[in-house]
Amino acid sequence: MTPSPEDLIKRIEGISKKDSDLIKEAYDFAWGVHKNTTRYSGEPYFNHVFETAKTIADFGMSPKTVIAGLLHDVIEDEGVLGEDIKNRFGEEVLFLVNGVTKLGKIRFRGAERHVGSLQKLFLATSQDIRVLIIKLADRLHNMKTLEHVPEEKRKRIAMETMEVYAPIAHRLGMGRIKGELQDLAFPYINPVDYEKVKKLAEPKRMEKNKSLSKIHKALSIELKNEKIHNVLTDYRLKHLYSIYEKLQRKDFDIDQIYDISALRVIVPTVSDCYRVLGIIHSLWRPLPGRIKDYIAVPKPNGYQSIHTTIFTGDGEIAEIQIRTHDMHDVAEFGIASHVSYKDKNAKRQGIKLPWNLNFNKYIGRKVEDKKLDVPDWVREIASIQEENPEIEEFYSNLKTDFFKDRIFVFTPGGDVVDLPVDSSPIDFAYRIHTDIGNHIFGVKVNSKLVSLDIRLQNGDIVEILTKEKNHPSRKWLEYARTVFAKRQIRNYLQKDKNNSK
């Protein structure tokens, strides 16, 4: 079946006549430009940009963003001039297309081109988060068609997906695409374990679904009795790669993974969520210590839900997840649901953007409106490369500071700060502001004075005490873990040396 522009237009809620005409024009333009190019699979190149645009539309993005999806490869692969895009589709579309365009093949090669292009991507993203969203949609389709790519390239692309793009999706709260990217990369990176996990998980899942459907029936009746309306329920199947990660922590014992499938209950309001939890616990006995309230305390990437695990009464154990419709959107689409077109004027109930508790009030800094949707860490990545464009350091930085496992700790005021695992109070201080870092005098963790070299734990409340006359010492370089804090300390020591000359 040949794709048609209607397939895109119907996905965009409330689109105007003018915008749908512009989509048709972009469709024809992209078709014309790519018409003599094919993919490794032999299918028309156009299919790739069309699928990318479709994903972007499904994320709920604006018509301009969908157009940029259609045009995302016309500069890089077909040599269309930026000027031409600007004249036809405007400056906004050109900016987005330029943002995802790789560095020129002629001047840059190999690793330098890949990492350099990544730097360029983050620079553009720090001005407009939609650049990264387009890139993820592009990568998703490339991963779906990876089997056709020459073997020697496959593994590199799969690795990059696992090391860079899936963690980005995760940090942006885009749960659905993160899971898909990991599951698509998994068999290319580790085919043996992939098969092993699949064999373990599939029969278990069938079994689980049977007992979930019994619970589902009983619960539906009770929710009706209790007059909770507008309820959506579905089964959440845990992604294979995420099962694999858990299996590694549980000695490959599949029986210890209770959430291989889970029942999901989606209701209108936050108070409905707690009522549903009460109803569930009065019907089935919960497993002690396994009730997680991510509504009151969201995950660092913005995820909100209540999870509980119950004894089903027939020897089984099952997980149930409860959330509002808005929370569900955010859990699936993350940041995309905040910059979404259809919800431009909608106010989301009870949803807070954790990534922009960015201490602006604390340090009196003003951020342009447009940049408010850009998480701090994206801006931080962009600023690293402005200071130090060394290519290898940039890539390892990205992996250690930004994409490793994270903990979240609190300021005394209750704001959440997320940091890489093993961070010290020094990393925390610099994360809040360089001025705080440069004047650390002492630190209290959970109200107790502790030394500067401790490793912070998930959930710690951290208070930094400062004194004007206190300054970084060489020793701090050993205590700090993030490249960011180390660089600030080095900067300070260097300046200090110069001043005393």
- Which 8-state DSSP code applies to residue 16? -
Kindly state whether residue 51 participates in binding Mn ion, applying the rule CB under 5 A.
Answer: no
d(CA 408, CA 301): 10
Q: Which residue is nearest to Mn ion (CB)?
A: 138
Short-list 269, 272, 330, 266, CA closest to 298 = 330
With respect to Mn ion, which residue has the nearer C-beta, 85 or 429?
85
Minimum Å distance from CB 180 to Mn ion?
Answer: 16
User: For every residue of 339-365, which 3-state class applies, written as one string?
Assistant: CCCCCCCCCCCCCCCHHHCCCHHHHCC
Minimum Å distance from CB 78 to Mn ion?
Answer: 12
With respect to Mn ion, which residue has the nearer C-beta, 161 or 321?
161
Minimum Å distance from CB 73 to Mn ion?
Answer: 5
Stretch that binds Mn ion, among 32-40, 138-146, 314-322, 414-422 (CB under 5 A): 138-146
Minimum Å distance from CB 149 to Mn ion?
Answer: 13
Number of residues located near Mn ion, criterion CB under 5 A:
2
247-276 binders of Mn ion (CB under 5 A): none
Coil/strand/helix, residue 299: coil
d(CA 87, CA 94): 9
Residue window 67-86: x/- pattern of binding to Mn ion, with contact defined by CB under 5 A: ------x-------------
282-341 binders of Mn ion (CB under 5 A): none
- Residues contacting 241, CB < 8 A, separation 6+: 179, 182, 183, 185, 186
Burial-class residue 501 by CB neighbours within 10 Å (0-12, 13-18, 19+).
exposed
List the catalytic residue out of 25, 58, 77, 332: 77
Kindly state whether residue 138 participates in binding Mn ion, applying the rule CB under 5 A.
Answer: yes
Minimum Å distance from CB 80 to Mn ion?
Answer: 14
With respect to Mn ion, which residue has the nearer C-beta, 19 or 73?
73
Strands 261-267 and 440-445: unpaired
With respect to Mn ion, which residue has the nearer C-beta, 73 or 128?
73
With respect to Mn ion, which residue has the nearer C-beta, 35 or 370?
35
- Residues contacting 387, CB < 8 A, separation 6+: 487
b/e for 272-303, b at 16 or more Cβ within 10 A? bbbbbbebbeeebeeeeeeebbbbeebbbbbb
With respect to Mn ion, which residue has the nearer C-beta, 38 or 213?
38
Stretch that binds Mn ion, among 3-11, 133-141, 388-396, 426-434 (CB under 5 A): 133-141
d(CA 42, CA 46): 11
Identity of the amino acid at 487: R
Q: What is the CA radius of gyration of the chain?
A: 25
- Residues contacting 287, CB < 8 A, separation 6+: 258, 309, 310, 311, 317
Short-list 371, 257, 350, CA closest to 302 = 350
| Residue 128 is among the residues annotated as catalytic for this protein | no
Short-list 101, 98, 313, CA closest to 214 = 313
With respect to Mn ion, which residue has the nearer C-beta, 71 or 310?
71
4-43 binders of Mn ion (CB under 5 A): none
Geometric angle at alpha carbon 16, from 82 and 21, rounded to 5°? 50
d(CA 282, CA 272): 15
Stretch that binds Mn ion, among 130-138, 143-151, 274-282, 493-501 (CB under 5 A): 130-138
Minimum Å distance from CB 97 to Mn ion?
Answer: 11
Minimum Å distance from CB 72 to Mn ion?
Answer: 6
Stretch that binds Mn ion, among 136-144, 258-266, 333-341, 399-407 (CB under 5 A): 136-144
Coil/strand/helix, residue 43: coil
Nearest 5°: phi and psi at 293? -100, 85
- Which 8-state DSSP code applies to residue 461? B
Coil/strand/helix, residue 324: strand
List the catalytic residue out of 76, 222, 380, 415: 76
| Residue 380 is among the residues annotated as catalytic for this protein | no
Minimum Å distance from CB 27 to Mn ion?
Answer: 16
Minimum Å distance from CB 48 to Mn ion?
Answer: 6
With respect to Mn ion, which residue has the nearer C-beta, 103 or 327?
103
Beta bridge mates, 311: 317
Minimum Å distance from CB 249 to Mn ion?
Answer: 36
With respect to Mn ion, which residue has the nearer C-beta, 135 or 246?
135
d(CA 168, CA 174): 9
With respect to Mn ion, which residue has the nearer C-beta, 157 or 317?
157
Strands 317-324 and 416-420: unpaired
Q: Give the count of alpha carbons within 13 A of 444, CB side only.
A: 8
Residues lying near Mn ion in the complex (CB under 5 A): 73, 138
* Residues with catalytic roles: 76-77
